[in-house]
């Protein structure tokens, strides 16, 4: 919640808002989709 309150995004690597999947990615809001694509091995 703190990340989102500061304008960022926090999801698991599937893009779901959860802390229970075992994976996590916290970024500023602008780079989140790009970071997910890079981590998943896809071209942005």
Dihedral pair phi/psi, residue 4, rounded to 5°: -70, -35
pTM for the whole structure: 0.77
Q: In this model, does residue 44 exceed pLDDT 60?
A: no
Average pLDDT of the segment spanning 8-23: 94
Of 8 and 1, the one with more pLDDT: 8
Q: What is the mean pLDDT of the chain?
A: 91
User: What sign for the dihedral angle of Cα 8, 10, 14, 15?
Assistant: negative
Residue 43 has pLDDT above 90, yes or no: no
């Amino acid at each position: 919640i703190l990340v989102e309150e500061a304008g960022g995004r926090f999801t698991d690597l599937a893009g779901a808002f959860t802390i229970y999947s075992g994976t996590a990615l916290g970024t500023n809001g602008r780079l989140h989709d790009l970071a997910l694509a890079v981590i998943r091995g896809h071209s942005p």
